[in-house]
Amino acid sequence: MFIGFHLLDRQIIDCDGLLVGKVDDVELSDGDPPEVAALLMGPQVLGERMGGRLGRVLARLAHRLHAAVDPGPARIPYRDVAVRVSAVHLRISYRDLPRPALEGWLCDHVIERIPGAGRAGE
């Protein structure tokens, strides 16, 4: 498997088919040859991986969105990956992962306050 071509930037989908995020970066193990230990998510990791001015701007922007303490990137151990096809499917639910800062803030301060926020479409 070429990590760059078959894993990075793929969509991550949880066990219920909900969208979790993208494989913004990966964590490699120390072994030889190194193996993928975990998937990393979040705009900050993405910005750091991209590098350059654009990447720095993205990383700084993402850093500012965190409340008091920076929780670090969302990390999904590779053993939680069930299948890897055109997307990466997880064994676990998105509820088992930390809630992304931006999603949490927008949900609590904007979307939840509008009537009908709990109703799914059809």
Partner 1 sequence: MKQLLALSLGILTAIGGFVDIGDFVASSQAGARFGMSLAWVLVVGVVGICAYAEMAGRVTAISERAVFDLVRERLGPRVALLNLAATFLVTVITLGAEMGGVALAVELATSVHYLLWVPVVGFALWVVLWRLKFQHLERIFSLAGLALVVFVVALTHLNPDWSGMWRQASRPTPADGEDWPTYGYFAVALFASALTPYEVFFFSSGAVEDKWGRDQISTMRANVLIGFPVGGLLSLGIMATAATLFHPLRIELDSVGQAILPVAIGLGKLGLVAAILGLFAATFGAAMETGLSAAYTVAQYFGWQWGKLVAPRQAARFHTLLLVSVLTGVLLLLTTVDPVRLTEFMLVFSAVILPLTYLPILVVANDHEYLGERVNGPVANTVGTVFLLVIVVAAVAAVPLMIATGMGG
**Which positions touch partner 1 (CB under 8 A)?**
6, 8-12, 18-22, 24, 41, 43, 46, 49-50, 52, 54-55, 58, 86-87, 100, 102-104, 106-107, 110-112, 114, 116-122
In the complex, minimum distance from the CB of residue 82 to partner 1, in angstroms, rounded to a whole number:
15
In the complex, minimum distance from the CB of residue 42 to partner 1, in angstroms, rounded to a whole number:
9
Q: Which is nearer to partner 1, 28 or 117 (CB)?
A: 117
Q: How many CB atoms lie within 10 A of CB 13?
A: 19
Q: How many CB atoms lie within 10 A of CB 76?
A: 24
Per the DSSP assignment, residues forming a β-bridge with 76 are 39
In the complex, minimum distance from the CB of residue 69 to partner 1, in angstroms, rounded to a whole number:
21
